[in-house]
């Protein structure tokens, strides 16, 4: 089993390549269609067959996003899984397990950053998009649904302390942390009550 990370300097966006080399299968988390040549080269070099394209969230149609992103991702040749319904994409149930090599990737519905965000549990790692970074995404610099975001974070915080958490965007911040670290020191959630979190999110909106 292996993991590769791709980082976009301009947007801070992170993409991940998950691989089971023994089974020659892979999944991509939050790939950008503009990286297609690099992604295909990585897959070909390792002799991997792409099983899944997994999107924690999407901003298709945003003014700063190129049109047709989903169509271009579908050309990678694997089902595109995302929470938001869109023709061509695949919606899956909360808790559903997607086969990958000898194991699986489990889908966790974690709305909040956008209404249909999802996280993906693979072994001891969760790829949770912008669930915990809150203000790092340039296209959604705050929760679309603060109550849902709070509940989704509390769900992630019930996982074992040593579970690794991978972000969707990073700016001058670490890409990976743990449940224990985020539960204790996350600047947006640690030590806050539900109402305290809502108040903090409200102040972020006022300051913009």
Domain ranges of the chain: 2-207
Cite the DSSP H helix spans in the chain: 36-46, 69-74, 146-157, 179-185, 194-207
- Of 89-93, 114-118, 120-124, 141-145, the range with the lowest mean pLDDT is 141-145
Residue 208 has a pLDDT of 37
Q: Does pLDDT of 206 surpass 80?
A: no
Residue 119 has a pLDDT of 97
Q: Which CATH architecture has domain 2-207?
A: 4-Layer Sandwich (3.60)
**Per-residue b or e along 79-99, where b marks 16 or more CB atoms closer than 10 Å to that residue's CB:** bbbbbbeeeebeebeeeeebe
Which whole number is the average pLDDT over 127-142?
Answer: 80
Report the distance separating Cα 154 and Cα 156, nearest Å. 5
Report the distance separating Cα 42 and Cα 185, nearest Å. 35
């Amino acid at each position: 089993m292996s993991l590769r990370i791709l980082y976009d300097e301009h947007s801070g966006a992170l993409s991940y390549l998950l691989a089971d080399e023994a089974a020659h299968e892979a999944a991509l988390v939050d790939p950008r269609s503009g990286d297609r040549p690099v992604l295909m080269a990585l897959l070909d070099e390792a002799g991997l067959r792409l099983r899944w394209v997994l999107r924690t969230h999407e901003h298709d149609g945003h003014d700063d996003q190129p049109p047709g992103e989903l169509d271009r991702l579908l050309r990678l040749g694997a089902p595109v899984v995302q929470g938001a319904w869109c023709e061509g994409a695949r919606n899956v149930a909360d808790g559903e397990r997607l086969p990958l090599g000898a194991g699986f990737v489990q889908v966790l519905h974690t709305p909040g950053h956008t209404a249909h965000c999802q996280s993906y549990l693979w072994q001891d790692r969760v790829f949770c998009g912008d669930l915990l970074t809150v203000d790092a995404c340039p296209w959604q610099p705050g929760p679309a649904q603060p109550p849902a975001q709070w509940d989704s974070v509390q769900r992630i915080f019930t996982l074992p302390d040593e579970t690794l958490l991978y972000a969707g965007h990073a700016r001058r911040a670490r890409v990976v942390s743990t449940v224990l670290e985020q539960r204790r020191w996350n600047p947006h959630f640690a030590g806050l009550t539900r109402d305290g979190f809502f108040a903090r999110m409200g102040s972020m909106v006022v300051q913009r």
